[in-house]
Structure 1
Amino acid sequence: MAEAHPDQFGIVQKMYYSWDFIDNAQGKYEIKYPDENKSRLYTFSVDLENRKNRSTYELIENGQVIETIHVLLKDGIATRQMPQKHIFTKEPIENNPRAGADSLYGRYIGLFNSDITNSEWYILIEGNYEDWTYSEVEFLGMPAFLIKGTISEDKSEALAGPFTMTVSKETGALLDLKCYEENEKVGFSITVQDLSINKDIPDDVFVLDVNGNKEVDNTEFNLNGVGNSGEEKTGGEEISHD
């Protein structure tokens, strides 16, 4: 399949290895699920070269923010804070520069930004090259690939149907994803509202004020999340790719 569709295979490969092309990034994006009155808004500044991440997750329901989680990864320490609950938790990260996306470091460096910077949504276009086509466009001021096609039920039962995906040509970052239901209604979507890649980020961005908040362990912190769902609290709320 890769030999028969080398250009499409190259797009998937670029997404898979996106962290190899991204030194740092800043942005904001929103995730919406079908038939929900909730959305999830993410704001992030991540410096992969210097192992720093300052990101925020907001769960919004009927236009109101009902949960906020801040994360700061800096100097080998990962801090998460729920400002509405006035609590925070800290976790040391092993200093292992070779650690990959599956490590504890990988989890925190990608927390609340990896949907864009190291997106696993490449799985929707991997191997099924006859189901989609692409064109070159400009999106958010950067050269990009606009992908259009159909997701089969074998690829994803939850997202089966027409879709569009926009991917940065230079870095493989995900710039937009829309999965359509009947009558061209948008179902699941990831919408990037702002994004800059490989531009200098001031160090004073990487701060988190937890003064006046109570320090708790990870278990207690997780149990305080809306819905008491570990998946939603850590930003792992993606629809299964299976």
Structure 2
Amino acid sequence: MTSLPIETLSQLSNVRIALQRFLAGNLRTIHLFGSAVDGGLKPNSDLDLMVSVSRPIAGAMREHIARELLAHSSPPGSAGLLRPLEVTIVALSELVPWEYPAMREMQFGEWLRTSIEEGYIEPPMVDHDLAILITKVRQQSETLYGPRAVDVFDPVPSADLQRSLLDTIALWNIGPDWEGDERNVILALARIWFTASTGAIASKDAAALWAMSRSPVEHRRVLARTLSSYLYGDQGKLTGNPTQMASFVRFCKAEIQCRLALGSAGSI
């Protein structure tokens, strides 16, 4: 983590201090994961944090935390030194022992900024994506507060990880499911395909390169444009046309479903 820019280290320190202030004795751990520790931060990368608490957080406190995090985060592409935050908070009383699907206590991200500013805070909810996130955090993360992730979170069984992958791709069926978020969906599909095929988890750029080597030429173009946008912050048109994007999504989903049906994913 020492390789991170000083402004990012300062941002993380301020977030840690804020969470300690609000959560006090209920706070168990804070772990940094994602691009910051695996593959390196790119121009528009989030800072991904997994936060665990001992017990559920009261509604009023969740609103205080969400509003505080607004001050420590900035929308993607904004001028200034703050990176966008993506913070997932889980209650260990709901998460350990592991059972799929798991419960998320709260989440913060820039896509929620307007809702938070208007006073709406998402309630605790079941989140199938936690199987993937917990696996990532256990495999590669930096501890900002508390014990190591492997000493706090139970391992996610391979079968549950595979169920999570299928539940995730089920969200993407028609244009409105990905419009405005094409880059994230394309990179997510590449990573899911990689995990379905290997049982491992790769960084976004590594997964995109892996998927490019296994895709027909028309889909390689989609991946190449998306990878360039991710690496260099290019905001140009990613997919050429909506039909091309829909075709890419169908192709990746079919590959993922085939791999999982064959039981190719290894144990985690």
Higher-RCO chain (CA-CA 8 Å, sequence separation at least 6): 1
| TM-score, with structure 1 as normaliser | 0.26
| TM-score, with structure 2 as normaliser | 0.24
Identify the structure with the greater helix proportion.
Answer: 2
Identify the structure with the greater strand proportion.
Answer: 1
